Amino acid sequence: MGSSCPRAPTFNLEDALHPRAIILYSQSLSASEDCIDKRFIRMNDRIRAREVRVIDDEGQQLGIMPPYEAIRKAREKNLDLVEISPTAQPPVCRIMDYGKFLYQQEKKDREAKKHQKTITVKEVKFRINVDDHDYETKKNHVLRFLGEGDKVKATIFFRGREMTRTSLGRQILERLIKDVEPEAIVEFRPRQEGNTLHAILAPKKSDKEREKEKQKAAAARSAPSQPAPPPVAQVAKPAS
């Protein structure tokens, strides 16, 4: 698949002389540069166009020139000539430190991934003959996963003759849904696929709400406890 970079508009001489057109063109170049796909990039001697529009490393337009002349200007600064908009007429190239540019892009990508919330689906398995103690243990697992912001897939697997008692499995999942209702929303009601019955539960509270609760609880733990006021001495009144 190719890059989803925005296509730079084509310009004639009148556009270049119009101040408003120059501003729009600069914005398009900036967007194209941010979307460079290093898998399909052409730079320096790999640029095949007869003429290219050149932007220097400070963002100034140098005009239209043959690639060899633009490469010479780039090498005078120990930089690279990078084709940032190959679909424009003529193609747009920029003089830059390509290695530094890739490093900065990878750094931005890593920072963006740090702020991404990965939602995982945890599976909790039940049996149709589950006893109360085992059920409570598994229910607590479900509540813990939901409290951590994960989705939960509650599954019941039927073996052999248990396929004739699927209604019992449905009752267990409906009971679970009712028990965790304050903490969960049901994304998928219990449904059967082959010899498996499952339901999908998602946390009811958002990440921001959970974060606020954690901060509030942490503040309550760190706040110094205030001493209780001393008891007020009561003086008995003499009988009249």
Look at residue 240 and tell me if it is in a domain: no
Burial of 55 (0-12, 13-18, 19+ CB in 10 A): buried
Who has greater pLDDT, 23 or 178?
178
Residue-level pLDDT at 180: 92
Say yes or no to pLDDT of 153 above 90: yes
Look at residue 235 and tell me if it is in a domain: no
Tell me the pLDDT of the chain averaged across its residues.
78
Note if the pTM is more than 0.85: no
Does residue 133 share a domain with residue 85?
no
Does residue 100 share a domain with residue 139?
no
Task: For residue 132, give its domain range.
Answer: 121-205
Does residue 134 share a domain with residue 99?
no
Choose one of 111, 139, 165: the last residue of a domain: 111
Look at residue 62 and tell me if it is in a domain: yes
Residue 128's domain is classified under what CATH number? 3.30.110.10
Look at residue 230 and tell me if it is in a domain: no
Does residue 143 share a domain with residue 75?
no
In this prediction, what percent of the chain has a pLDDT beyond 70?
72
Look up residue 82 and give its amino acid. V
Residue-level pLDDT at 135: 92
Look at residue 5 and tell me if it is in a domain: no
88 within 8 A of 119, measured Cβ to Cβ:
no
State mean pLDDT over 57-86.
Answer: 90
Condensed to tens digits (0 to 9), the pLDDT of residues 164-215 reads: 888 999 999 999 999 999 889 999 899 998 889 999 999 987 656 666 666 7
Number of domains observed in the structure of the chain? 2
172 within 8 A of 143, measured Cβ to Cβ:
no
Choose one of 111, 131, 147: the last residue of a domain: 111
Does residue 125 share a domain with residue 101?
no
Does residue 133 share a domain with residue 61?
no
Does residue 63 share a domain with residue 94?
yes
Burial of 182 (0-12, 13-18, 19+ CB in 10 A): exposed
Condensed to tens digits (0 to 9), the pLDDT of residues 75-133 reads: 999 999 999 888 889 999 999 988 888 888 888 888 888 777 677 889 999 998 889 99
Most confident of 28-32, 69-73, 102-106: 69-73
Does residue 59 share a domain with residue 127?
no
Does residue 90 share a domain with residue 21?
yes
Residue 26's domain is classified under what CATH number? 3.10.20.80
Choose one of 71, 86, 111: the last residue of a domain: 111
Whole-number Cα distances in Å, 216 to 84, 159, 182, 203, 210: 49, 47, 20, 19, 10
